[in-house]
Amino acid sequence: MKVLCTNGVKAVTVDLVPAVERALGASIEVDYASTKALMDKIAAGATGDLAVLSAEAVDELIGKGVLQPGSRTDLAKSVIGVAVRSGARDPDIASVDALKAALLAAKAVVYSKTGISGMYMPELFAKLGVAEQIAPKAVIPTSGSVGEALVRGDGDIGLQQVSELLPIPGIKVVGPLPGPVQLVTVFSVGIFSSATEPQAARALVAQLTADATRSLYTAKGLQPAF
């Protein structure tokens, strides 16, 4: 079975896929990337059995007939967080004004280019009125994650989905963006219309939405949406 999975839910699927493989007695190939990158691959002809993407992307693909009608199942809600290198002083991000001050005080601000959080950054900086000040000190990793860039010392503050920051050793998640400027993303799953292993796909969906997995989502920085 082949799964196209957004990085936002990777921390959960990495833990759950092996159990499903054992139960099915079959291997599961997972292609991890940002939702945008996966949508580009699908537009270019990539397919599989299951797609784990943002809810909007799943709905779009259902509308185009790429995913089966009625197959959307919501998995989790995700928020964007702020992280620093382990041992660094925690910036105050408790309010919008505090976040603005922390970003202005930072020597370099790290965020992704294609992920949902990275695509939101220009809008966030515009809301805060700091776009011009951030531009010359923005660091967008060409390889690896925002957290890995922080570990390397490429920047002193990073912004990304909390679920993508938490698994990275050597950094600390200070907390989520303040409510007024937060972006909440719903990650969902859909079954490809061309799926060759639809039964296995449904089995994985059942595992991803089992009551026993709720604590796993929470531990990985996500809020269950089922």
Q: Which residues contact 202 (CB under 8 A, 6 or more apart)?
A: 191
**73-118 tens-digit pLDDT:** 999 999 999 999 999 999 999 999 999 999 999 999 999 988 899 9
User: Residue 24: its pLDDT value, please?
Assistant: 85
Token look-up 């993303």 returns 185
User: Residue 19: its pLDDT value, please?
Assistant: 87
Please tell me whether residues 95 and 165 are part of one structural domain: yes
Q: How many domains are there within the chain?
A: 2
Q: What is the CATH number of the domain that holds 169?
A: 3.40.190.10
Token look-up 């949406």 returns 225
Please tell me whether residues 38 and 129 are part of one structural domain: no
Please tell me whether residues 61 and 100 are part of one structural domain: no
Please tell me whether residues 174 and 101 are part of one structural domain: yes
User: Residue 43: its pLDDT value, please?
Assistant: 98
Please tell me whether residues 150 and 63 are part of one structural domain: no
User: Residue 32: its pLDDT value, please?
Assistant: 97
Please tell me whether residues 175 and 86 are part of one structural domain: yes
User: Residue 112: its pLDDT value, please?
Assistant: 94
Cα 164 to Cα 78: distance, rounded to the nearest angstrom: 10
Cα 225 to Cα 64: distance, rounded to the nearest angstrom: 24
> What pTM, to 2 d.p., does this model score?
0.90
User: Residue 96: its pLDDT value, please?
Assistant: 98
Q: Which domain holds residue 202?
A: 2-77+186-224
Please tell me whether residues 113 and 56 are part of one structural domain: no
**Which parts of the chain register pLDDT below 70?**
none
Please tell me whether residues 109 and 150 are part of one structural domain: yes
Please tell me whether residues 177 and 91 are part of one structural domain: yes
